[in-house]
Amino acid sequence: MTADLFAADRHRIALDPGAWLFGGFALDRAGELLDAIAAISAAAPFRHLETPGGRRMSVAMTNCGTAGWVSDRGGYRYGPRDPLSGDPWPAMPPQFHVLAAEAAESAGFPGFAPDACLINRYAPGSRLTLHQDRDEAMFEAPIVSVSLGISATFLWGGQARGDRLRRHTLHHGDVLVWGGPARMTFHGIDTLAADDHPLTGAFRFNLTFRRALHPAAPLR
């Protein structure tokens, strides 16, 4: 919790060309972001997806925006509807759009207009294995990732799975942006340690903004 008091004063950290960690970038709007997450998850509840290999993911997920990311025995993909309800994913709140665009511009990627926001909920013991974001149609657009709640260790690798990993602690309100030459960097979240945050309790929430669909692509 002490880290939150100093998050806004941490310097920008350059991870690689095209990749930045902005300490405390979203700290002053964290409350409204969490309120929006609560509303989104009331309409599209958090769930533990299944990998194509049949394994249950430890991180609970939901989505908002034009497209949502899903995984099951059929593979990884984006779709316009929540497979649990058959309804469209909840609309992306305006404050999400604003934050994502501001963070992307600060990293040198002006004009970012995400159409998908994956919302992850981490409990102690959960993790996100090393991976690339490669299910999107618009690799030209950056990724914007917002951390809320208890701290986590971010794993930042290279363009190959076996490249050296670097570890960065992500605190409440921190924002990551990567694109351009860093767009296909392998990354993940190490196993989350037990902790407590005054706004989220034992949980960490992460917003990941992406441009998932090609502008000319029809929704299916």
Q: pLDDT, tens digit, for every residue of 36-84? A: 999 999 999 999 999 999 999 999 999 999 999 999 999 999 999 999 9
Q: What is the mean pLDDT of the chain?
A: 93
Give the DSSP H or E segment for 143: strand 143-149
Domain ranges of the chain: 2-210
- The answer to whether 45 touches 26, Cβ cutoff 8 Å, is no
Q: How far is CA 217 from the centre of its chain?
A: 23
Are the CB atoms for 116 and 54 separated by under 8 Å? no
User: Which 3 state secondary structure label does DSSP give 42?
Assistant: helix
Gap between the Cα atoms of 147 and 204, Å rounded: 7
And the tokens for 2?
């002490």
CB 155 within 8 A of CB 187: yes
User: Band of the pLDDT at 216, cuts 50, 70, 90?
Assistant: low
pLDDT for residue 4 is more than 50: no
Determine the 3-state secondary structure of 32 from DSSP. Answer: helix
Contacts of 216 (CB under 8 A, 6+ apart): none
Q: Residue 177 pairs with which residues in a beta bridge?
A: 20, 144
pLDDT tier, 10 (very low <50, low <70, confident <90, very high otherwise) = low
CB 174 within 8 A of CB 149: no
Q: State the amino acid at position 96 in one-letter form.
A: F
Categorize the per-residue pLDDT at 112 as very low, low, confident or very high, splitting at 50, 70 and 90: very high
Confidence of residue 138 (pLDDT cuts 50, 70, 90): confident
List beta partners, residue 144.
177, 209
* Separation in Å, CA 208 to CA 54, 86, 179, 214, 218: 24, 22, 13, 18, 23
Q: What tokens does 198 get?
A: 């005054």
pLDDT, position 205: 98
CATH class, 2-210 region: mainly beta
DSSP symbol at 97: H
pLDDT at 1 over 60: no
Percent of the chain with pLDDT over 90: 90
Percent with pLDDT over 70 in the chain? 93
CB-CB contact of 81 with 89 (8 Å): yes
Task: List beta partners, residue 47.
Answer: 61
